[in-house]
Amino acid sequence: MKRMLKITDVPLKILGIQVGSGVRYILLFWIEVTNTSIKLADEVLLNLFTFTIFLLSRGELEIADEKQREQIDKLILTEALRIVDDYENIQDVSRLYEELFEKMDDLKVLDERVPLIAVKFLARMREVQRRDAWKIVCIETTVALMELRGRKDWYNKTSIKESLKLLENFNEDDQHDISSLRKLFEKLS
């Protein structure tokens, strides 16, 4: 009969410690290469972004200390904007953005780029998704931003103004679907 391993068993404790150390090492690696201005390949940055969104969506970014966490949160936003601007197949990474918006309020540090990330993501998704699927993404993104209303660190007047301008580029049929997002931005402007 096979013996069931328990978390109190020494090998599993060691494994848990090693996994935690590995996660912290990856996060520190991203921080350090950014701080030393080392340019990483876009694929590496995408993998780091994917990994941190995975951790964020599962509440595991708490493994980093407060200072590291603030730096990681800034890196997440930087990479989110870069990907939405530059990544060719946005649909391949759409789930990452959905998870990011769902957990955005869990980020310790936000900045004025959040509205731009949201609007650019919606614009890119509109290019590749059927209308019914896009409407769902639009609603979920708007709800996620509405949950940030108690915070003041995720926008400024300039980013709201720029985001409202970008919303004007959506076609007439889509204007109804983005109306709640527009109203939110107008209240903040």
The answer to whether residue 99 is domain-embedded is: no
DSSP alpha helices (H): ranges in the chain?
A: 10-35, 42-57, 66-86, 94-102, 114-128, 131-146, 157-167, 172-175, 179-188
The terminus-to-terminus CA distance of the chain in angstroms comes to 67
The answer to whether residue 160 is domain-embedded is: yes
Whether 15 and 55 map to the same domain: the answer is yes
The structural domain count of the chain equals 2
The answer to whether residue 98 is domain-embedded is: no
Whether 21 and 87 map to the same domain: the answer is yes
Residue 17: per-residue pLDDT: 54
Residue 7: per-residue pLDDT: 55
Q: Consecutive sets of 10 residues in the chain, 189 residues long: mean pLDDT of each?
A: 58 55 88 93 95 94 92 97 92 93 95 98 93 94 94 96 97 93 95
Residue 22: per-residue pLDDT: 78
**Which of 47, 67, 93 delimits the end of a domain?**
93
Domain that holds residue 38: 10-93
Secondary structure letter of residue 106 according to DSSP: G
Query: For residue 65, how many other CB atoms are within 10 A of its CB?
Result: 10
CA distance 81 to 83: 6
Residue 149: per-residue pLDDT: 86
Contacting residues for 174 by C-beta, under 8 A, at least 6 apart: 126, 134
